[in-house]
Copies of this chain bind each other. A is one copy, B any other.
């Protein structure tokens, strides 16, 4: 009875999760939101109040294990929410943090994770201004879950108006970029969880990307999209964008930056690099004539050294698959929205 109970695949960031969210959430809460922000299912919602335009977002973090090469749940919880805000072109202003602790949780582990969260918040100068702490009985949670929500102030353009980023801004001819190598986060977490060792160390890319967003906003007056390719990876991100924008996209497989150790690990684990979660990368869409400026802006910052142009937005709204991949051997295949959960509890 796959439709009567929740399955792990319902949380994977793929097609099943989209279906669940549409059926269970949008039908009920969509009608209450005249702004239509919820229905966009974007990284953050635009909230206009008191004459200012804000970004507002939330994520719960359930990653297992809590500490992994390159990061931990604390760094992840701050970075993820900062990154979602920045996808609307919003400077992070304030964060909340809700902790669900399992009875028996090691206090030293909690301390390390909170140290890491505080360090990460300091990197981007954003305060945690409110929070909540709940404790549940042993066996009713898995050590520690963290929820963060965030408020950001949407930056203004040269015309004095708040910047407008999002799928609705995408036009045929635009270029698709990524800010660096893909799949590092998912592979780092999985290799730690499975006790795998690879020849070269693989570390998560988890990082707060606001400094990179700030550079891109300055360099590209017509920046269309910043998107956070987390669960479901690049494949989910570009499919969601193409669907929302009613366009097609073509991605060049050879242009996608991937560390050799990560590519090897994906082969070993039976994963597709393009479906694996990232926690410190943007998918960036700009007009063709701003692609060079976007590349230069990113490559000039440590978080964007390996940025690359990986594809383009195509003409037309023909039926059929939205995203195609020109493969390494010169063929072309559909790049699908992943279905379910290759990697449970990756973030």
Residues of A that sit less than 8 Å from B by CB: 3-12, 17, 20-21, 24-25, 28-29, 32-35, 37-38, 44-45, 47, 49-54, 56-62, 93-94, 96-108, 110-111, 114-115, 117-118, 121-122, 125-137, 139-142, 145, 147, 149, 151, 153, 341, 344-345
Contacts and interface: CB of A to CB of B under 8 A. Distances in A.
Contacts of A125: 32
A147 B58 contact: yes
A99 B60 contact: yes
B151 A56 contact: yes
A3 B108 CA distance: 10
User: For chain A, what secondary structure do more than half of its interface residues adopt (helix, strand, loop), or is it mixed?
Assistant: mixed
B58 A114 contact: no
Q: Which of A21, A107, A117 has the most CB of B within 10 A?
A: A107
A122 B97 CA distance: 26
A28 B115 contact: yes
Contacts of A102: 6
Contacts of A101: 6, 10-11
A56 B96 contact: yes
Nearest to A61: B134
Contacts of A17: 133
Given A33-B128, A58-B132, A142-B140, A98 B147 contact: yes
Contact of A32 (B4, B20, B58, B118): B118
